[in-house]
Structure 1
Amino acid sequence: MQAFTTGHAAIQDLDPYRFPAARIEEEPEMAPTVVGLMDHDDYLLPAPDPTTRLSMPLDPADRRRLELHAALTTAGIAPLPGDLDAIKALCQLDDSTHAALRRWLNHAL
């Protein structure tokens, strides 16, 4: 372990990426922003209003497709573009078969 020297030279020797709080006198101090990542032309989106949400039920095949994509993402499996036809075919199966498929994917972790 190396001991740091005291004084001005020690602050300049600190890596600004590893020690972002170390201030270098030659650089101007940046003004803080929201989360520190927003530019001057960025703006925050308002929170969604639950009363304006559409109340359309999903088709069972669409619900199964979303659940299968979520299970694949959780398992770390990225479907290839050619796999979309297989996913569409799997989503046409009944709910119990689809639940078994998701259970298998969850145990594959």
Structure 2
Amino acid sequence: MTGVQAFTTGTAALLDLDPYRFPAALIDDAPERTPSVCGRVEPGDRLLPAPEPASRLTTPLEPTDRRRLELHAALTAAGIAPLPGDLDAIEALCQLTDTTHIALRRWINRAV
């Protein structure tokens, strides 16, 4: 096909659209309410309540678990997606000391 294909304007064509790619598509003959592009709250939106500080877990993370979270956060902020084979290397890096881990995160952040 070399030309542009136009969609029909009926609701049957709208029901065929993927709701994740086209959140404004009609589903069950009613428009789906989605947040606006600017992230403003629209009338009828329900906001989640603020978390209560008393409901937080009091158990601190182990140092290796904390380092793993910090390393994943640094890689995500740098736009680096670890591959499945990289998880063993991340585990080995999390066993290092805090000072070595700080230097590693600093190197990742400067690489961006």
TM-score category, normalised to shorter length: 0.5 to 0.7
* Aligned residue among 69, 85, 91 for 2:88: 85
More helix by share: 1
Distance in structure 2 (CA, Å) of the matches to 1:46 and 1:87? 35
Indicate yes or no: 2:62 matched with 1:59: yes
* Aligned residue among 25, 41, 53 for 1:35: 41
Highest Rg: 1 or 2?
1
Residue type matched to 2:92 in 1?
Answer: A
Aligned to 2:78: 75
* CA RMSD, 1 decimal: 2.5
SS of 1:35 mapped into structure 2:
coil
Name structure 1 gaps, 5 residues minimum: 1-30
Name structure 2 gaps, 5 residues minimum: 1-32
SS of 1:101 mapped into structure 2:
helix
Percent of pairs identical after alignment?
71
Normalized against structure 1, the TM-score is what? 0.60
Deviation at 1:35, TM superposition (A): 2.5
Normalized against structure 2, the TM-score is what? 0.58
* CA 37–74 in structure 1, closer or farther in 2 if over 3 Å, else same: farther
Indicate yes or no: 2:53 matched with 1:50: yes
Question: Greater relative contact order (Cα 8 A, min sep 6): structure 1 or 2?
Answer: 1
